[in-house]
Structure 1
Amino acid sequence: MTKLSVNINKIATLRNARGGNVPDLLKVAVDIQRFGGQGITIHPRPDERHIRYQDARDLKAIITTEYNIEGNPQHNFIDLVLECRPDQVTLVPDAIGAITSSAGWDTIKNQEYLTEVIQEFQKNGIRTSIFVDPILEMIEGAKKTGTDRIELYTESFAHQYSLGNERGIDPYVEAAKLANELGLGINAGHDLSLDNIKFFKENIPGLLEVSIGHALISEALYLGLDNTVNMYLNKLK
């Protein structure tokens, strides 16, 4: 079964909009795990506009499933990850001020830098994943960095699928096949939703984990958080 890691950035966004501690980010993380979620993902950014660095520290104590921290490996982020020691770190090439992730790494151009960062995390017992577009050369480049996994950036698939174009998944299938051949684990995320997750999962060989936040939290406004988490789990079986 493909694991579901729930990104709780949007919970932090809602909390920060009003100040105080409602909704309680830590309680939501506990509840998601109690509802069946198999991991918690956060993506702290330098401006801390949703997840704060202190949230990352506080969550460490209450996550009993898998803890995944995403972000651009700049100095403050690297220090935070080494302090928190999550199960997995996902490296994402976000520009400062970016609203959301918009592209994967150029693993060829940034090979030396990524290799250095990955070795530091692995030396500290943290599994690594690189956010990549479904481009075969980028998959090959990721392998050369020594990363444990890749995370396929799925915005393009989700957009094409919403237009009725199921062939939009083809580059992802080829990327997954190559990753499997190279011995890379496969994660995926960005714009995956209840509408498209089953089709994506059924067509991607060796899909280990999906990280879903914006869609899942938005769907939960209508369906309830417990129900939504379990709807995803059923589609990922």
Structure 2
Amino acid sequence: MSPVRWLRAVAVVVAAALLMASSCSWQLGIPIPDGVPPPAGDRVPAVDTYAKGRPADQLHEWAAERAPKLGMPINALEAYAYAARVAEVENPNCRLAWTTLAGIGMVESHHGTYRGAMIAPNGDVTPPIRGVQLDGTSGNLHIADTDRGLLDGDATLDRAMGPMQFIPETWRLFGVDGNNDGKVSPDNFDDAALSAAGYLCWNGKNLSTPRGWMKALRAYNNSDQYARTVRDWATAYAGGHPL
């Protein structure tokens, strides 16, 4: 994913995002207090954001050394780290750490392995991970179908999709191609991680501050417990181990 393509994709959605009525979150939330953002963790090596093929492959050696200790698939860590590195290069004021993306990915889908799902070398997650119908029950928001079932497979109500659990409308606004395959898929880990980076940076502005980090997490899922759980996992990953 080139920085030009990433910036162009984000620029297109910024104006539309102001009209967005929903986010990646599907749970009804409660106010959460500001707190200290999780540590950044190990520094991600520099990458060529214009690289052909799957750009996250550039981080294979870095990720292969760390992923087993963190209890996550190597290609998931590659995707988190690449997305954070692109955000750092293209939006240095955002200060998004890969640990935050990893914390979200763990909570949302166990890093793309929920219910036995697996991540292919190109980042595709199979079988596709889908959340429950957003029917307004059990603490969920009620979100009527927005994509005629084309993305989430449900023509009645929306469902969260993929390893980072985007809802269709949010994906339409923020989804980008992270592995250079010419497709924008919520079921591809590279696409989902890079899209999540853009979404978090747009909402949080500066995630190194308590207010910015909390604002970004509120946009993702407006839940007190959710933010705490993501922060706990992210902090553990920064320390080189899972919870």
TM-score tier after normalising by the smaller chain length: under 0.3
Q: Could you say which structure has the greater relative contact order, defined with CA pairs below 8 angstroms and 6 or more residues apart?
A: 2
Q: More strand per residue: 1 or 2?
A: 1
TM score, norm. by length of structure 1: 0.27
